[in-house]
Structure 1
């Protein structure tokens, strides 16, 4: 319950004090099991930003294996995008590729409109795309870098959800990718970490906004994961030891993170909203 939310009657007032069969006397009876479709996302349509590679690619493939049709919004890597689409189609699901800059509101509207035109609906939005520019010195973060990082990592999430809102129905799910750096910080990723902290607050606030519509909003905060972003942005020495300082002693693979997104998008997470999952190799964070 949100703080300050007015309580309302949702079941008969009752007291059960019997020594035996207390549960049997409850009205209504607690629900202990549900029938589960073998494909947890059957007939769902999911948009995944940054779905051409890395975590987004793993999520796209995992969703497809659970029966979802996929829309991959990506920036410019056509080769990776086509390879991911081919894999999704080999599974038997449809895949729509949309290239462009998600930091532009007009492009986010285009993503939603093309999705609805193609599939007729929208069930899942995964805000996953992100960029980072490591800097050793605070003074090295230029205004242009700061603007670009925030526009891509957090502004784009606002734009895409704003465009998607008219098409999201009860039972829809929004999943935002944040990071372990939102919780412990990072001395060489100051602007990136700041956006990831903003995503945590955005997720919690957006969940409150959509709760009355029975639309769930959650997030995933990966730790070190072996994706193209790592060798593309970090120096070789850092890359060689990347993730070795986690309790499990290694970086995660994208597939090891994808299950969190499947769970949050599925009916199994029907009582979760405003929450963040932490696939980070065992680091304890103040969640």
Structure 2
């Protein structure tokens, strides 16, 4: 029986690289590409099938920043499939990122230069706006839209006989200091991306706590510093030309600079081969690339991982956040139902 893999944000960047790499690992997969832009999704589907004709590749239109879109896509998926084996929750945004130039250049000449480039701590702020659902855009896209997708797809995900894996694309930029339970949508701060990725880490822990006994397992991955359309938007092309030699040099001291989407997908592909019951729910799995271009996965067993990237998660906070999301779910469902009745 074919394994069924659902990937959000599959038409570009890490999502696209992941699709290509998974089909190399298993050419008999059924890949379902969940994308906003269907013309791009169909073009990717055609390309993938040309390279892997024995695979099955389908598409579904889904915009995780729009709950109606998530509901419609979920309904379609439940009509198509009896189960999903892997769900890669990869779609995300970092709208209009602004770089703190002063912090960048002061960091270049400090002992924190490697940490600064690895995590972008203190370097980036983003704009945010309210979606049609009345939620903060970054929070809804990166966290809540995916949470609602998981809630809608529970019948396809919870099978104790053969576990399903949820795999979230998180970030080294996930900072506890940028997240607050009192403002979990980050409506008052300037680093919604960092807050949303920390929220993803919290949700991952809570999902394992609440769903492992039902056969659903969750993991978080950091793809490293990858050059995608999202990343290139942070700086002007001239600034990237100036910084790239420094980044290539730093790659020999820290392996966080995966740079290419192919490399960034390393941990995502590695998790495809793992037994979910054997994974540590408090671990973030990191894609890493050496200075000479070799890829590997950094886990809690790596000394560098313990030094720099140990998951800073409190399980009680994770559970409280999960309960907050359930309350928000009740609220938005009532609101959407009222809107539907009025129309």
Tell me how far apart the structure 1 counterparts of residues 262 and 289 of structure 2 sit (CA, whole Å). Answer: 13
| Pair 1:131–1:239, CA change in 2 (3 A) | farther
**More helix by proportion, 1 or 2?**
2
- Deviation (angstroms), 1:268: 4.1
Alpha carbons 2:176, 2:195 under 8 Å: kept: no
* CA-atom RMSD in angstroms: 3.0
Q: Deviations over 1:2-32 (max 9, x none)?
A: xxxxxxxxxxxxxxxxxxxxxxxxxxxxxxx
Alignment partner of 1:58 is 2:17: yes
Q: Select 1:175's aligned residue among 167, 172, 188.
A: 167
For these two proteins, the number of residue pairs brought into alignment is: 244
| Pair 1:254–1:140, CA change in 2 (3 A) | closer
Tell me how far apart the structure 1 counterparts of residues 93 and 192 of structure 2 sit (CA, whole Å). Answer: 10
* 1:285 counterpart residue number: 309
* 2:266 counterpart residue number: 259
Unpaired segments ≥5 residues, structure 2:
101-123, 179-188, 291-303, 312-343
Structure whose CA Rg is larger: 1
TM-score (normalised: structure 2):
0.63
TM-score (normalised: structure 1):
0.74
Q: Select 1:88's aligned residue among 48, 73, 76.
A: 48
| Pair 1:189–1:94, CA change in 2 (3 A) | farther
Correspondence 1:201-212 to 2 at 5 A: 201-212=202-213
- Deviation (angstroms), 1:235: 2.6
Correspondence 1:144-159 to 2 at 5 A: 144=130, 147-159=136-148
Alignment partner of 1:190 is 2:191: yes
Q: Deviations over 1:171-199 (max 9, x none)?
A: 1110111101015989x971111101111
Correspondence 1:75-114 to 2 at 5 A: 75-76=36-37, 78-79=39-40, 81-89=41-49, 90-91=51-52, 92-114=54-76
Alignment partner of 1:43 is 2:6: no
Alpha carbons 2:175, 2:198 under 8 Å: kept: yes
Identify the range of structure 1 (242-251 vs 275-284) with the bigger mean alpha-carbon deviation: 242-251
Tell me how far apart the structure 2 counterparts of residues 276 and 249 of structure 1 sit (CA, whole Å). Answer: 13
* 1:219 counterpart residue number: 220
Alignment partner of 1:135 is 2:98: yes
Secondary structure of the residue that 2:218 maps to in structure 1?
strand
Q: Deviations over 1:124-182 (max 9, x none)?
A: 11110000021357997455498111111111121110111121123111011110101
Alpha carbons 2:6, 2:87 under 8 Å: kept: yes
- Deviation (angstroms), 1:229: 1.8
Alpha carbons 2:62, 2:73 under 8 Å: kept: no
* 1:160 counterpart residue number: 149
Tell me how far apart the structure 1 counterparts of residues 275 and 46 of structure 2 sit (CA, whole Å). Answer: 28
| Pair 1:259–1:64, CA change in 2 (3 A) | same
Identify the range of structure 1 (232-241 vs 98-107) with the bigger mean alpha-carbon deviation: 232-241
Tell me how far apart the structure 1 counterparts of residues 99 and 227 of structure 2 sit (CA, whole Å). Answer: 22
Tell me how far apart the structure 1 counterparts of residues 46 and 18 of structure 2 sit (CA, whole Å). Answer: 15
